Chains A and B, each alone.
Chain A
Amino acid sequence: MENKIIPYTMLSEALNSTQELIERILPEYGMPSLRIGLEKINSVLDDYLQKAQEGFPIVGYHFAFPGEYLQCYDCVPVCLEASGYFLATLLLHGVEKYYDLIANFGHPYHTCSAQKASMAFTLDDLFRFDAIITPTAPCDSTCASYPFFRYEGKFPLIIADLPFRFDEKGYEYYGNQLKLSLTKLGKEIGQEPDYKKLKMALELENKTNKLQLEIFELAKTIPSPIENMYNAVSAATAILIPGTIEKYEFYKEMLEIAKYRYRKKVHHGGEEHIRSIWPYMLTFFDISLCEYLDRELGMSILFDIFNYNFSDPINTRSDLNTMFYDMAKKGMGWPMVKQSIEFYYPFINDCVRFAKEFSADCFIFTQSLACKQFGTVPQLLKEALKEIGVPMLIIEFDVGDARMTSLATMKEKIKMFSQTLL
């Protein structure tokens, strides 16, 4: 059978070689999050590739659509944003050539590189989906770029309208949208939703969430028992392998390591000099920045946007409507979605609170080119943090495209900023 998800094969191969390098080169306890994370992700990807070979329908999904919701179908879930970003991370020369390919097609340079790569993969016939499902949030880039898949890729595009109102009314509306869109998806791929399977995936996610929350709490201690790399790998597991036992195991093992370090007061980089909070994203074009900060600057990244958003557990024991309501709450509280559909006030208040609770020395706000929905918050946040004496560095960059702000520039900026803190 033809391979309809070649980028996942590329990802799997890149993961294999990276994993091999880690196993062979790093000492046994070096960067455990990367070692464990890659192993777990690889295992799930192998399974997906196998299922794709067997002819299961390929369902593309936006990262803001919690992927575990797709487990009510026998399908191969493929995260469009994760595909590009993790190839950007793992391929030696990144995925810039794909960004150029879609730019030559006429896609504006200022849209999100998260979608650019998958659009180019589609243009290059590397991706063939049986359907794609997406919410209408978090950003203009999503709303603007996804129609490409319908009109150019000719893939059925199913849209769940995510209301820009973070309240009861919004949860009910989105719960209904989730139900409708999943039903539509089922029709598109010729399957009935298996809610029993969905409930199992949700319950597993509930348990995983609990572990994440514990790790998050441990990051409050000094020194932080969480290595910076954890944040990047955790983001990958969250959007690439949701609702799987492997994801659960990743957090379980990471929690054990964090607890050990906490008891021993050990810091991954040796000594913690600066405690930083990254309220937005890390670089995905080169995650070695995480290790550089830990080891060279003694700067802990206590968490980034993918690692501080926690929703209430989804009630799977009541009726379906309640379950969908909770699923909506989770979807609307998803990293970046929550901050996008809400006004800035809670985001700023949360950051100020986190700064105190986590004894942060500074904030680093990475303003991505594509994220217009965040383009007016950095200065407001900087001013709010200044009032409690916490400085913030703003770096404009592209999460996936190394050409906009290079790793060297980022390192230099952070280094200079850190010197003002010490």
Chain B
Amino acid sequence: MLEIKNLQAGVEGKAILKGIDLSINAGEVHAIMGPNGSGKSTLAQVLAGREGYEITDGSVRYNGEDLLDLGPEERVREGFFLAFQYPVEIPGVNTTYFLRAAVNALREHRGEAELSAVEFLKLMREKIQLLELDESLLKRSVNEGFSGGEKKRAEILQMALLDPKFAVLDETDSGLDIDALKVVAGGVNHLKHADNAQLVITHYQRLLDYIVPDHVHVLVDGRIVKSGPKELALELEERGYDWVIEEQAA
């Protein structure tokens, strides 16, 4: 589904990703862990099509297509989704209005009829229960005045509405208390099925108690230096990252 080869990218001449290789198949959950500044969020941003990053080498194939050739919105329409580490507040844009526009942009791309306000509301009521979100949030401006936990849950609500084939979750667990984490993880797990895939970027092993990955990758200084089964995450939690770095240097 996703094939990253020797991806190199940076900002203003400073290299951040120094050759990433990663292959993700349908039905799989991958986790990327790594210390601060290792390039985790840059990878997420580059995959989502954020402007301002220079891609200096490598390729990303997504279902056979060149992902890097597509604009951010085209990626979404092809089933890509990024849950933001820091969801953006947009004062004055009503959340329901925004979500309906997003869903309908996707439907239009697929040649499906637009959802009316009533149809959309029905769909949304279904989804917000999954995230245990208060319906009153939907009447507010996008992310404005939301608590940290509400913002993250709202990201997963968007994911539920857009039902992506490939989702990147960028530190969705950061700043969540354990109850909120369970709700968010429950939502993500509910959205997982055999035909889609997830890439979970996290700083803490804790998340992986609730979202169980098939593969764990360790990102250090812009490279994946170690990959392994889910047990690798536990080892990282116990021993930190230094041994991986040392092992690699050896």
State whether these chains interact.
Answer: no
User: Which A residues fall within an 8 A CB radius of B?
Assistant: none
